[in-house]
């Protein structure tokens, strides 16, 4: 198994939550101090470099108009890492291509990073969470269709090397596609897709890309990975689904003692508890399939939102969205998840969030890398 250090580069120094309606989309940026923000950017970049030194791979992502993740242009952050790192794989998860207007531009950005990093790019693509809709002014209806069409266009741009080719889709058009640079890796960088639904995972499995899922817990993750494996087999890719096709993202904090680990893990919960978003940004029309939207109107709740109301470290560990404890405990928790869901090849560690300070973050990375990761590599 490969482990990836992931930080959302949050800006956590906010006024009390009861003074604002939403941490995303509409929270005024007067609350963002660029001087503090600069320090935070440099700190988070340092943490990625430290994680690389400890032998971890690196992951970053992109969100917009939010204090939870001040990385609205992930390729820029990735470009810094491509230059400053030397050996880690670099995963962007991902490019919100249902909300990007020019897929060819995304292909160019990714190709640049692949070359700059001498072939270390893992190119992830996401549909984007619902609160990305308003910042992108993007139509919430037909996002899946846009995402998959954009991906096809990007793959074509990456793999065409004999002069201009054209693409005329339902949503995206270009008559003269001939990107410079072309990607380093052949035929193209590995493709990752994140989805949190079995239906989405089936589509990813049929195409054989790496499927990542975030904080979906024991049973949710099992359903998603099963759907992936079924679709993989039905597509004739063989009975054995390579474990490196599946990735799980969890909040992870390793400490010398259980008490120290839980103290750090408590701070990681900010990632879940700070996500105050009103329904009109969390549920734009058309984002969910209509039947799922009906269930929400009837009172159903997203499992993560339900959890956030009474979030605790113990509860999070029990739900399988967090691994926290001594190295032995963390290893056992990962093993439990691994066995429950039928195995996976990548663990994406949300190892920094909110008020977890630099030293604490590094301590968590170091202990995980030295005391947990060696055994995980054998998984």
Return residues touching another protein (CB under 8 A): 25-26, 134, 137, 139-142, 145, 170, 278-281, 284-286, 290-291, 293-294, 297-298
Minimum gap (Å) between residue 157 Cβ and another protein: 24
Minimum gap (Å) between residue 87 Cβ and another protein: 43
Q: Which is nearer to another protein, 38 or 294 (CB)?
A: 294
Q: Which is nearer to another protein, 96 or 220 (CB)?
A: 96
Q: Which is nearer to another protein, 181 or 289 (CB)?
A: 289
Which residue is associated with the tokens 């590995």?
A: 190
Q: Which is nearer to another protein, 91 or 129 (CB)?
A: 129
What is the H or E stretch that residue 290 is in?
Answer: helix 290-297
Alpha carbon distance 325, 340 (integer Å): 19
The three-class DSSP label of residue 222 is helix
Q: Which is nearer to another protein, 293 or 362 (CB)?
A: 293
Alpha carbon distance 215, 321 (integer Å): 5
Q: Which segments within 64-134 are labelled E, that is strand?
A: 90-96, 121-126
What residues contact 276, with CB distance under 8 A and at least 6 apart? 17, 20, 21, 22, 23
Minimum gap (Å) between residue 164 Cβ and another protein: 27
Minimum gap (Å) between residue 139 Cβ and another protein: 4
* Sign of the dihedral through C-alpha 320, 325, 331, 336: negative
Minimum gap (Å) between residue 134 Cβ and another protein: 6
* Sign of the dihedral through C-alpha 324, 327, 333, 337: positive
Alpha carbon distance 134, 26 (integer Å): 9
Torsions phi, psi of 309, nearest 5?
-65, -30
Q: Which is nearer to another protein, 142 or 377 (CB)?
A: 142
Structure tokens at 31: 């609350």
Minimum gap (Å) between residue 303 Cβ and another protein: 21
Task: Check: CB of residue 7 under 8 Å from CB of residue 364.
Answer: no
Minimum gap (Å) between residue 340 Cβ and another protein: 33
């Amino acid at each position: 198994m490969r482990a990836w250090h992931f930080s959302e580069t949050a800006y956590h120094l906010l006024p009390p939550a009861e003074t604002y309606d939403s941490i995303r989309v509409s929270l005024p940026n007067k609350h963002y101090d660029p001087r503090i923000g600069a320090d935070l950017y440099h700190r988070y970049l340092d943490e990625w470099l430290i994680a690389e030194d400890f032998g971890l791979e690196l992951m970053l992502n992109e969100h917009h108009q939010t204090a939870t993740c001040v990385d609205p242009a992930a390729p820029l952050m990735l470009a810094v890492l491509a230059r400053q790192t030397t050996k880690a794989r670099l995963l962007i998860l991902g490019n919100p291509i249902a909300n990007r207007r020019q897929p060819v531009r995304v292909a160019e950005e990714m190709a640049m990073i692949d070359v700059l990093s001498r072939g270390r790019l893992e190119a992830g693509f996401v549909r984007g969470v619902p609160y990305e809709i308003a910042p992108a002014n993007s139509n919430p209806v037909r996002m899946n269709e846009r995402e998959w069409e954009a991906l096809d266009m990007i793959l074509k741009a990456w793999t065409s090397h004999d002069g201009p080719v054209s693409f005329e889709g339902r949503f995206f058009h270009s008559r003269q596609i001939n990107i410079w640079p072309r990607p380093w890796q052949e035929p193209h960088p590995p493709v990752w897709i994140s989805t949190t639904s079995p239906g989405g995972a089936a589509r990813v499995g049929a195409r054989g890309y790496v499927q990542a899922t975030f904080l979906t817990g024991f049973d949710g993750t099992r359903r998603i990975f099963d759907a992936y494996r079924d679709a993989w087999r039905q597509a004739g890719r063989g009975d054995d689904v390579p474990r490196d096709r599946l990735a799980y993202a969890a909040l992870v904090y390793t400490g010398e003692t259980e008490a120290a680990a839980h103290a750090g893990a408590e701070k990681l919960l900010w990632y879940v508890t700070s996500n105050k978003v009103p329904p009109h940004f969390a549920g734009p029309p058309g984002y969910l399939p209509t039947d799922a939207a009906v269930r929400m109107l009837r009172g159903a709740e997203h499992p993560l939102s339900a959890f956030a109301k009474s979030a605790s470290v113990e509860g999070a560990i029990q739900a399988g969205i967090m691994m926290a404890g001594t190295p032995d405990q963390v290893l056992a928790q990962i093993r439990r998840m691994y066995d429950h869901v039928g195995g996976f090849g990548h663990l994406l560690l949300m190892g920094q969030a909110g008020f977890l300070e630099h030293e604490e973050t590094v301590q968590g990375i170091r202990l995980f890398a030295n005391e947990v990761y060696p055994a995980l590599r054998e998984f």
